[in-house]
Amino acid sequence: MLNNHITVPAKGNRRIKLTIYPGHFATSHAHVDNYISMTELRTSSNMASETAEELAKVFKYIQVDTIICLEYTQNIGAMLAKELTGGRRDVNSGNDIHVITPAINSNNQLTFTSDTQPFVTDRNVLILLSTISTGRSLSRAQECVGYYGGRLVGIGAIFSAIEESDGVPVHCLFKPEDLGSYNSYHSNECPYCASGRKLDGFITTGGYNEL
């Protein structure tokens, strides 16, 4: 198990906290020098509620029909929908926002079932993720929304190392500078690998697996 860690509060709401584990980790796209644990924010009802409330400060001015949740953000997504529709004078007040998650087919493509496609086609869609590091997972989600004829109106994340994707701003609670240090490398350019340091673990969308 990882032992050394730091706790970083969000600038907008210090009750929202990330646990950061420095080390040498691999993702499906890159090697990184920090593992950002999202477990508490995604599984705690209190933390998910605080996170949704903070994200709603930005998205309450945008018409949203559907929230597409990736990387186990369904808890946060449901609470965000409630925040967006619960105000008296906000754009989405009194509306019904659908919260859905795509499936992954045998070709590793994101897909929607026939009964959820109507919530994407010709709808104002917001994509919600846990972490955006290289942007590849986000790009795949954007392609999926476009394929089904949705209108991407917003991108939200807990942490993001990029500020926009295809001209759409990314709104997040944490940025690399908030963590003190966060670096991403192609596996063949990783300085830790070059120095002979072994991997501490493999990061997945659900957490990390120790090696």
Find the farthest-apart pair of alpha carbons in the chain and give their distance in angstroms, rounded: 58
| Residue 49 host element (H or E) | helix 45-59
Q: What is the pLDDT of residues 171-191, one digit of tens each?
A: 999 998 898 888 889 999 999
Confidence at residue 148, expressed as pLDDT on a 0 to 100 scale = 97
Q: What is the pLDDT of residues 105-123, one digit of tens each?
A: 988 889 999 999 999 999 9
Closest CA to 5 of 185, 146, 201: 201
Domains for the chain: give ranges and CATH numbers: 6-210 (3.40.50.2020)
**Bridge pairing between strands 168-174 and 151-160:** parallel
Closest CA to 160 of 6, 10, 7: 10
Per-residue b/e over 119-156, b at no fewer than 16 CB within 10 Å? Answer: bbeebbbbbbbbbbbbbebbeebbebbeebebebbbbb
Q: What is the mean pLDDT of residues 11-18?
A: 93
